[in-house]
């Protein structure tokens, strides 16, 4: 055997490029010394039980958060709950799977047959929404680890100008649309890829992720909860659900006296002042504007659909197969040599170029369809937010904005009625 | 005046109830629509060794450092060569365990003598960082008994695997929780 080896080697040296996949070249030895093959090691995954424990903890934490925000009215309790959630969902469970990311699992499962969604991911998506429909955004208040880390690091409040704020709060809608589109077309999970804090939870991440997370945290000291307000795609859904919530946190436990003490305390700009002093507009003028805005909604929807349909080739760039096809085409047509690892792997593998280009056309088609829906969604959202600007409500109380309020409970201690009630409780 | 207020109140109530129903319906429909696509067990990420091209991204793209991807050895495929393409660097003059001869950058492979002329190669998983150099060596010049797998005990099972996103040959995919590994079997 030992003498033959050089000849075998020589043969293989000459031929190995051709026989790349014929790997079973050498005969397996017949041992004479009674050698026993070592065990082929396959260490199994940590138990699945944890995922179900997560679910129980999620429901428990949501229930506690609702109780603390609506019934007990305790800011301190919510802070401690945030600490717990940060420790458990964040650092102990390392932030996967979270409700924010589960949006993508759901859209991947809805639009693809090959993917079976784990029950836990589906429930992580649904349960906070149900709680939002019942009690407002209690999930944000103290359960979401991403929210918790920002809640605990927001020390000072600097208010952004209204114009900037209103532009910034439209980003989550686009982010949600893009990430649903991207996961529905099996391209990538954008929310997970650009999750700012998961690197901190794991204490290990690419440096770009750490920088992004650290920047958000530093910005969050002043502009509180920047991720939740200006990026979180799940927040869009919670916002919508919370607007129709059955019950919601209130600033005051009893009748509001319009003392205006809570007016400026909300760091999230979520307290709508009472408007007894606002000048009343002519009803006719107002009605006319409302009607115009309502009629504009379908127009925005169509406009969005057309715009995004034309933009769909740009979005298709999110898909790695499309990227590869573009690279190969550039090599063929313009002579730019394809040097990416995907291109090298493609050249080694047996797939023909035609197959790939056909594949690309199919993916483009899917993106075109999806982009139209995304455009409609964004157009309708934009139109409806204009409509809501023109509806006049007459408020005699200071109320939290149900969509924007994170139920953090900061406003409680500024309400004299709340304080006097606590004092009365302590006496008895 | 009082009646007027009541009309507004009821209209607002109507909008509110309609909205409530409108957002509640999808939440109820969703589990029903997905009922056929739900699994009670989860998924894990795994490398298909037959698709893997050992590009080396497993080492760098995993969210863990060192990567959860480790080299595994199917001893029954190995021919226990003295001149091992997975252990020795190309162009080495002597066959020895000297550091300058070793292909593995972290010295994660140990070579032990079994019997003339056979040597056993064992992977130290703690040292392995999943670079795949030995796998490539064994594939190019050997039986291909070394292959990369995601160690499920180390893997944090990200919602989307960062290596899978970067894998140029689409070798990484979700597989059912029950299987966990795609072993390379004897041909």
pLDDT tens digits, A265-290: 999 989 988 876 666 667 788 888 88
Q: Count contacts between A and B (CB, < 8 Å).
A: 190
- In this prediction, residues A96-123 reach a mean pLDDT of 91
Q: Which residues of B touch A133 (CB under 8 A)?
A: 20, 23-24, 27
Query: Which among A5, A101, A342 is the nearest to B83, CB-wise?
Result: A5
In sequence order, the 6+-apart residues with CB closer than 8 A to the CB of A404 are A239, A268, A269, A270
Query: Could you give the angle at the alpha carbon of A292 between the alpha carbons of A288 and A295, nearest 5°?
Result: 140
User: How crowded is residue A291: how many other Cβ atoms within 10 Å of its Cβ?
Assistant: 12
Residue A197 CB coordination number (10 Å): 26
Grade residue B11 by pLDDT with cuts at 50, 70 and 90. Answer: confident
Shared domain for B123 and B95, answered yes or no, is yes
ipTM of the complex: 0.86
User: B184 lies in a domain?
Assistant: no
Same domain, yes or no, for B58 and B99?
yes
- pLDDT tens-digit series, residues B41-81: 888 999 999 989 899 999 999 988 899 999 999 998 899 98
Closest CA to B61 of A184, A217, A214, A209: A209
| Closest among B123, B186, B155 to B47, alpha carbons compared | B155
Residue A32 has pLDDT above 90, yes or no: no
Write down the pTM of the prediction.
0.89
Pairing of strands B118-123, A399-400: unpaired
Q: What is the pLDDT of residue A140?
A: 95
Predicted confidence at residue B40, as pLDDT, reads: 83
More confident residue, A179 or B156: A179
Of A9, A96, A393, residue with least CA distance to B44: A96
The pLDDT-based confidence of A153 (bands split at 50, 70, 90) is: very high
Is the confidence at residue B156, as pLDDT, over 90?
Answer: no
Q: Which of A17-26, A129-138, A292-301 has the lowest mean pLDDT?
A: A17-26
Whether residues B10 and B51 fall in one domain:
no
With an 8 Å Cβ cutoff, is B5 touching chain A?
A: no
Q: In terms of domains, do B87 and B64 share one?
A: yes
Residue B82: pLDDT over 70? yes
Residues 6+ apart with CB under 8 A from B152: A42, A43, A44, A45, A46, B44, B46, B180, B181
Cβ–Cβ contacts within 10 Å for residue A77, how many? 17
Asked, for residue B149, whether it belongs to a domain, the answer is yes
Cα–Cα dist A187/A318, whole Å: 6
Residue-range domain boundaries for chain A: 51-276+400-427, 283-390
DSSP run (H or E) holding A405: none
Q: Do B63 and A206 touch (CB under 8 A)?
A: yes
Number of structural domains found in chain B? 2
Instruction: State residue A17's pLDDT score.
Output: 45
Of the candidates A98, A320, A115, A91, the one whose C-alpha atom is nearest the C-alpha of residue A192 is A98
Selected residue with higher pLDDT from A112 and B3: A112
Which DSSP letter does residue B88 get?
B
B4 lies within 8 A of chain A by CB: no
Rounded to whole angstroms, the Cα distance separating A343 from B132 reads 19
Residues B131, B83 share a domain:
yes
DSSP B160: S
Give the whole-angstrom CA distance, residue A122 versus residue A114.
16
Q: What is the pLDDT of residue A19?
A: 46
Structure tokens at A205: 């991440």
Are residues B99 and B135 located together in one domain of the fold? yes
User: Distances in Å between the alpha carbon of A86 and those of A94, A148, A228?
Assistant: 10, 6, 15
Give phi and psi for B30, each to the nearest 5. -50, -55
Domain annotation covers residue B185:
no
Tell me the average pLDDT of chain B: 88
Same domain? For B109 and B29 the reply is no
Per-chain mean pLDDT for chain A: 89
Q: Do B77 and A341 touch (CB under 8 A)?
A: no
Same domain, B13 and B60: no
For B:69-98, CB contacts with A below 8 A are 72-83
**Domain coverage including residue B29:** 2-37
Query: For the segment A76-108, what is each residue's pLDDT rounded down to a tens digit?
Result: 999 999 999 999 999 998 888 799 999 999 999
Phi, psi of B70 (to 5 degrees): -130, 160
Q: Which two tokens stand for residue B101?
A: 């001869």
Q: How close B133 gets to chain A, by Cα (Å)?
A: 16
| Assigned domain for B110 exists | yes
How far is the C-alpha of A214 from the C-alpha of A210, rounded, in Å? Answer: 6
Residues B21 and B79 in one domain: no
- B76 vs A37, A96, A240: nearest CB: A37
Question: Could you give phi then psi for residue A47, rounded to 5 degrees?
Answer: -55, 145
Q: Are residues B22 and B56 in the same domain?
A: no
For residue A358, give every residue at least 6 positions away whose Cβ sits within 8 Å of its Cβ, in sequence order, or none. none
Distance CA A142, CA A64 (A): 9
CB pair distance less than 8 Å for B165 and A204: no
Q: Which residues of B8-46 are buried (b: 16+ CB within 10 A; e: fewer)?
A: eeeeeeeeeeeebeebeeebeebeeebeebbbeebbbbb
- B124 chain-A contacts, CB cut-off 8 A: none
* Distance between CA atoms of residues A150 and A155, nearest Å: 10
CA-closest candidate to residue A248, choices A82, A127, A132, A148: A132
Nearest CA-CA distance, residue B91 and chain A, Å:
12
């Amino acid at each position: 055997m030992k003498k033959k080896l050089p000849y075998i080697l020589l043969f293989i040296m000459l031929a190995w490029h051709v026989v790349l996949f014929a790997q079973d070249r050498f005969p397996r030895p017949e041992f004479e010394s009674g050698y026993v093959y070592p065990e082929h090691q396959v260490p199994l995954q940590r138990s699945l039980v944890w995922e179900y424990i997560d679910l129980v903890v999620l429901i428990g934490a949501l229930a506690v958060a609702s109780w603390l925000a609506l019934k007990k009215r305790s800011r301190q309790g919510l802070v401690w709950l945030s600490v717990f959630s940060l420790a458990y969902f964040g650092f102990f469970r390392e932030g996967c799977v979270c409700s924010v990311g589960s949006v993508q699992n759901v859209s991947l499962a809805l639009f693809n047959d090959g993917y079976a969604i784990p029950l836990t991911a589906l429930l992580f998506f649904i349960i906070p929404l149900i709680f939002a429909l019942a009690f407002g955004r209690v999930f944000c208040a103290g359960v979401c680890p991403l929210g918790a880390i920002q809640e605990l690091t927001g020390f000072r409040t600097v208010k952004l100008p209204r114009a900037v704020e209103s532009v910034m709060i439209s980003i989550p809608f686009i982010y949600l649309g893009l990430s649903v589109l991207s996961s529905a077309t099996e391209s990538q999970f954008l929310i997970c890829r650009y999750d700012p804090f998961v690197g901190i939870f794991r204490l290990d991440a690419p440096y770009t992720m750490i920088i992004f997370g650290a920047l958000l945290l530093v910005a969050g000291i002043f502009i509180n909860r920047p991720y939740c307000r200006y990026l979180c795609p799940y927040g869009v859904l919670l916002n919508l659900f919370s607007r129709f919530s059955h019950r919601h946190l209130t600033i005051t436990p009893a009748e509001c006296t319009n003392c205006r003490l809570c007016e400026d305390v909300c760091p999230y700009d979520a307290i709508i002042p009472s408007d007894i002093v606002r000048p009343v507009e002519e009803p006719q003028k107002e009605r006319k504007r409302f009607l115009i805005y309502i009629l504009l909604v379908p127009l925005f929807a169509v406009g969005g659909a057309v715009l995004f349909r034309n933009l769909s080739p740009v979005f298709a760039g999110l898909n790695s197969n499309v990227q590869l096809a573009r690279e190969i085409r550039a090599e063929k047509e313009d002579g730019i040599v394809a040097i990416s690892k995907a291109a090298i792997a493609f050249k080694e593998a047996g797939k023909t170029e035609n197959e790939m280009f056909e594949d690309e056309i199919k993916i483009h088609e899917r993106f075109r369809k999806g982009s139209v829906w995304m455009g409609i969604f964004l157009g309708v959202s934009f139109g409806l937010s204009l409509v809501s600007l023109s509806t006049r409500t007459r408020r005699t109380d200071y109320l939290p904005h149900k969509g924007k309020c994170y139920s953090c409970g900061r406003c409680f201690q500024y309400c004299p009625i709340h304080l006097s009630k606590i004092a009365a409780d302590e006496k008895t | 005046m009082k009646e007027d207020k009541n009309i507004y109140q009821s209209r607002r109530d109507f909008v509110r109830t309609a909205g409530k129903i409108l957002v509640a319906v999808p939440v109820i429909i969703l589990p029903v629509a997905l009922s056929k696509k739900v699994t009670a067990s989860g998924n894990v990420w795994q490398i298909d060794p037959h698709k893997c091209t050992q590009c080396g991204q497993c080492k760098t793209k995993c969210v863990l450092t060192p990567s959860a991807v480790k080299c595994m050895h199917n001893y029954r495929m190995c021919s226990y060569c003295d001149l091992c393409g997975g252990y020795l660097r190309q162009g080495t003059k002597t066959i020895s365990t000297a550091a300058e001869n070793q292909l593995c950058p972290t010295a994660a492979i140990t070579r032990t003598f079994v019997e003339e002329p056979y040597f056993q190669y064992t992977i130290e998983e703690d040292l392995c960082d999943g670079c795949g150099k030995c796998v490539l060596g064994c594939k190019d010049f050997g039986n291909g008994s070394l292959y990369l797998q995601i160690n499920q005990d180390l893997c944090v099972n990200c919602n989307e695997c960062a290596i899978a996103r970067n894998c140029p040959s689409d070798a990484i995919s979700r597989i059912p929780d029950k299987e966990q590994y795609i072993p390379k079997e004897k041909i």
